[in-house]
Structure 1
Amino acid sequence: MRTRPPRTDARRPGLHARRPALAALVASAAAVAVLTLPQPAGAAESSPVGFGAGTTGGGSATAVTVSTLDAFKAAVTGSSAKVVRVGGTISLSGQVDVGSDTTVLGVGSPSGFTGGSLRLKKVTNVVIRNLSISKAIKRDAITVQSSTKVGIDHNSLSSDRDHGKDYYDGLVDISHASDYVTVSWNVFKDHYKGSLAGHSDNNADEDTGHLRVTYHHNWFDNVNSRIPSLRFGTGHFYDNYVVGAETAVHSRMGAKMLVENNVFRSTQVAVTTSRDSDEDGYANLRGNDLGGAATEISQVGTFTDPPYGYTAEPASSVVASVTAGAGAGKL
């Protein structure tokens, strides 16, 4: 741990920028060779809480249900409004790109993907919900690049820790100036590198002023680190339950983190601002139950008032809420 005294980030401007308008939704879904069904109640994600507020995905577009890889690829292509329901577990090799104005929703138990990745690249207004995604070899389970307005909600994301830390990549990685993202009510389990926001110390020109991400009510169970790791951006981490981490929240390269009302158990370092990067980050902590975990706060920040409405439940009720409600099949 560094011994120099804490600084404040008064010299760095805040990143509270005006939210961009939502992209307009196109009226009809792309034609695909899949079964078309009426959209069930609750299939489309309601607007997330946090920086991803206003994300609607495919909205009220007529849903299609798919159960094969080819049908899924066809269904998620393009920028027309669409709701794609995934039935059963589909094996992936590599990654599948998801288009703008899309909701991908798991139905049944379990439903989702194994072996590969979903990628959101240069898209906007996407919801990924109620999926089980496992063992994405050499890939992130969900990759978000150069994309805005994303909600990742009620998914179960996992691999194993029987291999080295680089056999898999991250579970949710957010990079290349992606912005206005909420990651909520997910289970991250049995993995080394949980969630990276900002992929490189050398990407300041692209990332500064972006990477605004909210993480709330997620359960990180036996995840070693990056819970999350944030560079350059602004992160709000509240009401999460972290068990079995080596290092959890990591603010670096001038990132600003508000860490609020979380619970940490069997964790060595709950929050650090001073590891592994050329520049430290900033962190403000309030209302957390550290469970004996250490903190390494070299710089105390000024990000204490998120620019959106939310209600943070007290840490005393987080374990019960998160274990009962997080993950696929808990809608």
Structure 2
Amino acid sequence: MAYVVHVHNPHWKGRTRMRTQRLIGPAAAGGSATAVTVSTLDAFKAAVGGGSVKVVKVNGLISLSGQVDIGSNTTVLGVGSSSGFTGGGLRLKKVTNVVIRNLNISKAVKTDAITVQGSTKVWIDHNSLSSDRDHGKDYYDGLVDITHASDYVTVSWNTFKDHYKGSLVGHSDNNASEDTGHLRVTYHHNWFDNVNSRIPSLRFGTGHFYDNYVVGAETAVHSRMGAQMLVENNVFRDTQVAVTTSRDSDVDGYANLRGNDLGGAATEASRTGTFTSPPYGYTAEPASTVVTSVTAGAGAGRI
């Protein structure tokens, strides 16, 4: 089966293709591209460059040093449950229409597992992303970082495990001129397990965070620098602060909370904001079923 990227991200364009409680995203089976299967770093680099429509299947675990740039109109799809990358990650820089799916990416030293920079219409789905907590918090960078006015990004059904800084959206308090009006992101049905913070941390943008399972965080959702967040039907366990809008930046963010199971976690929502209705159709399952759904369905090998 091949996956070809559409020219829209349905989470922000209102044309969602949905299999109930399993999958929402901008890709569809079939299309004009014939899949290419690779198992070496050189073959992978050659396959993912350029802007032509393409499907690249990764078979096996490939060692990286640093990051590999992914071109526009590209689907990268892991074969089976254990294919992917170790030691480095993937970078989407100034590209559009990209799917990253069913990959294991671990221990990306001094870089992100996945960087989305100045890019639009991106779907990151059913990946297993991890490092370890045996080193200092800056030994690894982020697992999924979305910066420089990236837009229309959906992060769904992934596992984030054993890491300090999970997912940064907006890299600097001083980047309002570029980021304002962009950084529209959706996170749903992800499992954050032993991730310390940035689940996610959002500056300037608009974020919908629903049906996620968060275990063992110090601070989870962090809205700052005027960002608008809708935090809906999530489950938090062994977490100190589920949502904050008032830390680390000169300007607070906004957060609307509804239907969450906080599990005893604190909230620090200083401002509520106006983002209550996402501009797309979706079905949020109740928090009471999230743990079962997410633990059974998130991560590589579960598509």
Same fold, judged at TM 0.5 (above):
yes
SS in 2 for 1:50: helix
Q: Match of 1:133? A: 105
SS in 2 for 1:136: coil
Could you report, residue by residue, the CA deviation over 1:165-220 in whole angstroms, capped at 9, with x for unpaired residues? 00000000000000000000000000000000000000000000000000000000
Partners of 1:242 and 1:48 lie apart in 2 by: 25
Verify: 1:153 aligned to 2:114, yes or no: no
Verify: 1:51 aligned to 2:12, yes or no: yes
Amino acid at match of 1:244: G
Quote the RMSD (CA, aligned, Å). 1.6
Partners of 2:12 and 2:155 lie apart in 1 by: 9
Deviation of 1:109 (Å): 2.8
Partners of 2:91 and 2:31 lie apart in 1 by: 20
Could you report, residue by residue, the CA deviation over 1:259-311 in whole angstroms, capped at 9, with x for unpaired residues? 00000000000000000011000000000000000000111111000000000
Amino acid at match of 1:201: D
Amino acid at match of 1:55: P
| 1:104–1:128 CA contact under 8 A, matched in 2 | yes
Partners of 1:51 and 1:186 lie apart in 2 by: 19
Q: 1:224 aligns with which of 167, 189, 196?
A: 196
| 1:59–1:82 CA contact under 8 A, matched in 2 | no
Partners of 1:248 and 1:309 lie apart in 2 by: 25
Q: Match of 1:108? A: 80
Q: Identity percentage over the alignment?
A: 84
Classify 1:59/1:155 alpha carbon distance in 2 versus 1 (closer, same or farther; 3 Å): farther
SS in 2 for 1:110: coil
Gapped runs of 5+ residues in structure 2? 17-24
| 2:231–2:255 CA contact under 8 A, matched in 1 | yes
SS in 2 for 1:108: coil
Partners of 1:256 and 1:216 lie apart in 2 by: 16
Normalised to the residue count of structure 1, the TM-score between the two structures is: 0.85
Partners of 1:319 and 1:49 lie apart in 2 by: 25
Verify: 1:306 aligned to 2:267, yes or no: no
Amino acid at match of 1:218: N
Classify 1:164/1:97 alpha carbon distance in 2 versus 1 (closer, same or farther; 3 Å): same
Count of matched residue positions in the alignment of Structure 1 and Structure 2: 291
Q: Match of 2:19? A: none
Q: Match of 1:11? A: none
Amino acid at match of 1:133: I
